[in-house]
Amino acid sequence: MTGVQGVTDSKPREGLDAAERDRRQRMRSIAIAVVLVMMVVVFYLATIVRLGSNVLNRSL
Amino acid sequence: MSQAGAETNVEAGLSGAAAINEPTVGDFLQLMKPRVMSLVVLTAMTGIVAAPGNIHPLLGAIAILCIAVGAGASGALNMWYDADIDAKMQRTAARPIPRGRVTADEALTFGVFLSFASVLMLGLLVNWLAGALLAFTIGFYIFVYTMWLKRRTPQNIVIGGAAGAFPPMVGWAAAGGGISIESVLMFLIIFVWTPPHFWALALYRSRDYERVGVPMLPVVAGPEETRRQILIYSVILVPLAVAPYFIGLGGLAYLVTSVILGAGFLYYAVRCRSITEGREGDTAAKQLFGFSILYLFALFGVLLAEHTVWRLLA
């Protein structure tokens, strides 16, 4: 593909000390965790909203 | 980023020598083009609130979130594909990939994941018409605009502008309004607004586009013709933007806003057409570009405010 020519992905990650690299990786992990938890909550709440009162209309 | 920093990146991009650092959360947020997202959120929200019927507020919020994330995914994929030219353009040299903060592969993975996640969430939790429209929007922006048209024709942003015009239609469909004359009219307003908006920018950035071989109208047809086209599109846009009042989509506040700001848009378009030389010419183009953003934000902001008030009073 022409669009990404000249931008390679094999460049070394350089210029950062280990502590800063660890901090950035930790922040990314926390962000991913927050997004995943939010998705679970959103799916749960949306399911409740969509089911609405039908939840109560079931045979016992 | 400072001017000097951007210039350094342009040079680094030209030599292909940007170093890769560990990306932060902020770098990934930048990939999503947050400023573009803000306009998408406003127009999508307007579509949702203005649509007939009552969508549950939670589902409405989820729809806005999905549309915003879908727009962000498009931005990330656009930055992935255009990384080579972004590195050589002053305006885009500070983006995360040219700066060496995020690799192209990371941007691609991020964009693809968000695209699928936003479309699936919108389809599963809200409705599949909205999900399909969002998928079409993302696909149109990436495959039709970014990969096909952008580097091939000066009509790139005329046709490609459709991608940016879809969010209110997606919002309208998410709220259960299907596809109707009102949502198509909102689409058309953004669609016709896009060429004068981007060509005004391209007028004072034409050297950037010329350097990377993107055939924007000022590069291919010259600034004179671009200024003429800007005026033509502006003359079409202004009455079109007033039309929502006449089909009941907008109220009196919208009518007044669209007429007054429409006059302002024409004023800046005429100024841009008549002041063509030197720094003053660039300034006129910049003023039109800045006003065009205010114009669209105000139109949809007033439309949103009116429909919110009508709903509260109903």
Distance from CA of A49 to the nearest CA of B (A): 8
pLDDT band at B297 (very low <50, low <70, confident <90, very high): very high
Sign of torsion over alpha carbons B128, B129, B131, B132: positive
pLDDT band at A60 (very low <50, low <70, confident <90, very high): low
Question: What is the C-alpha R_g of chain B?
Answer: 20
Output the pLDDT for position B8: 47
Burial of B248 (0-12, 13-18, 19+ CB in 10 A): exposed
Return left, alpha or beta for B79; rule: phi > 0 is left, psi -120 to 50 is alpha, else beta: alpha
The dotted CATH code for B1-151+163-178 is 1.10.357
Task: Examine residue A44 and state whether it is found in any structural domain, yes or no.
Answer: yes
Task: Tell whether A17 lies on the interface with B, counting CB pairs under 8 A.
Answer: no
Residue written as token pair 């656009």: B78
Both tokens of residue B284?
A: 């006129």
Task: Examine residue A30 and state whether it is found in any structural domain, yes or no.
Answer: yes
d(CA B93, CA B82): 11
Output the pLDDT for position A56: 72
Interacting residues of B245 by C-beta distance below 8 A, sequence separation 6+: B251, B252, B254, B255, B258
Sign of torsion over alpha carbons B94, B98, B103, B105: positive
Distance from CA of B181 to the nearest CA of A (A): 28
Burial of B99 (0-12, 13-18, 19+ CB in 10 A): buried
Predicted ipTM?
A: 0.78
- CB A16 to CB B24 under 8 A? no
Q: Each residue of B204-233: pLDDT tens digit?
A: 999 999 999 999 999 999 999 999 999 999
d(CA B311, CA B57): 12
Task: Examine residue A26 and state whether it is found in any structural domain, yes or no.
Answer: yes
Output the pLDDT for position B19: 55
Task: Examine residue A1 and state whether it is found in any structural domain, yes or no.
Answer: no
Residue B50 confidence (pLDDT) above 90: yes
Mean pLDDT, rounded, for A30-46: 95
- Letter for the amino acid at B296? L
- CB B105 to CB A9 under 8 A? yes
Domain of residue A40, residue span = 18-51
d(CA A17, CA A22): 9
For residue B168, give the nearest of B181, B185, B183, B158 by alpha carbon: B183
Number of domains observed in the structure of chain A: 1
Chain B residue numbers touching A25 (CB-CB < 8 A): 22
Residue B16 confidence (pLDDT) above 60: no
Task: Examine residue A45 and state whether it is found in any structural domain, yes or no.
Answer: yes
Percent of chain B, pLDDT > 90?
Answer: 89
| Nearest-10 Cα torsion for B193, B194, B199, B205 | 130
Could you give the 3-state DSSP secondary structure of residue A10?
A: coil
Find the chain B residues whose C-beta atoms sit closer than 8 A to any C-beta of A.
Answer: 16, 18-25, 28, 56, 58-59, 62, 65, 80-84, 87, 97, 100, 103-105, 117, 121, 125, 146-147, 151
For residue B25, give the nearest of A13, A35, A38, A46 by alpha carbon: A35
Distance from CA of A3 to the nearest CA of B (A): 5
CA B125 to chain centre: 26
Interacting residues of B140 by C-beta distance below 8 A, sequence separation 6+: B160, B162, B163, B166
Task: Examine residue A2 and state whether it is found in any structural domain, yes or no.
Answer: no
Task: Examine residue A43 and state whether it is found in any structural domain, yes or no.
Answer: yes
pTM, 2 dp: 0.88
d(CA A30, CA B272): 48
Chain A residue numbers touching B14 (CB-CB < 8 A): none
